[in-house]
Amino acid sequence: MPKVKRLGQGKLIARELARHAPFTAFGAITGIVMMVIIVFGNVSGGISHTLFYTLHPIHVVLSALVTTAIYKLHGSGKAWAVILVGYTGAIGIATLSDSIIPYLGGALLNIEIGFHVGFIEKWWLVNPLAFLGIAIGYLRPTTKFPHAGHVLLSTWASLFYFTAFGVAEWIPLLPLIFLFLFLAVLIPCCISDIVYPLLFVRGDSPHLHLSCQK
């Protein structure tokens, strides 16, 4: 990759991370509110499990849609390349955001937490939905509103991973949970929706605007 292009993408990444930070913080706050409700409402882990395996697949759809749309709008790859970029970007980053980072966060906090990967455990649901997102992104490439939904759903999926598969006294840990929710969404979502598809686009980096702000 030419040095000029790398520098252009670096500026693009920094710009988008800065634009996403307030919206991502808002999403993380809504996640903390949900966790407080779960704790004081004595919501069972089974409900969190169901919500995780509802939100995670929807997150995969939106992630695949945006990643595919960015590559379709700015690249010139063939259909098989669009499918490959859309699938690997959505599945890989959604797994990182919704499962791996919350699991590592739980481990760092000494929380008793299990490791679960949606596209393996629920392969019959998550994988077809990834291809649905790819199809939508290819046929009707749009990014702004699906991307905003992607950010919120990713936040909530990460939260419900904690409460579905982890056991802890959550209230004292809320500030750290907020931090992990913020990081689990901000960096992976920007990588999935911006950096990853642009790695396969030839020429100079396009000027994108995926901000969740109006």
Please give the structure tokens belonging to residue 104.
């590592």
CB atoms within 10 A of CB 211: 16
Residue 106 corresponds to which tokens in the numbers above? 């739980």
CA distances from 101 to 68, 117, 178 (A): 24, 12, 13
Taking only the tens place, the pLDDT of each residue in 53-95 is 999 999 999 889 888 988 888 776 688 999 999 999 999 989 9
Task: Look up residue 174 and give its amino acid.
Answer: L
* Predicted model pTM: 0.87
Distances (CA, A) of 87 to 61, 68, 80, 120, 166: 10, 8, 11, 14, 28
**Tens digits of residue pLDDT in 131-151:** 999 999 999 887 665 667 777
Instruction: Report the share of the chain in percent with pLDDT over 90.
Output: 53
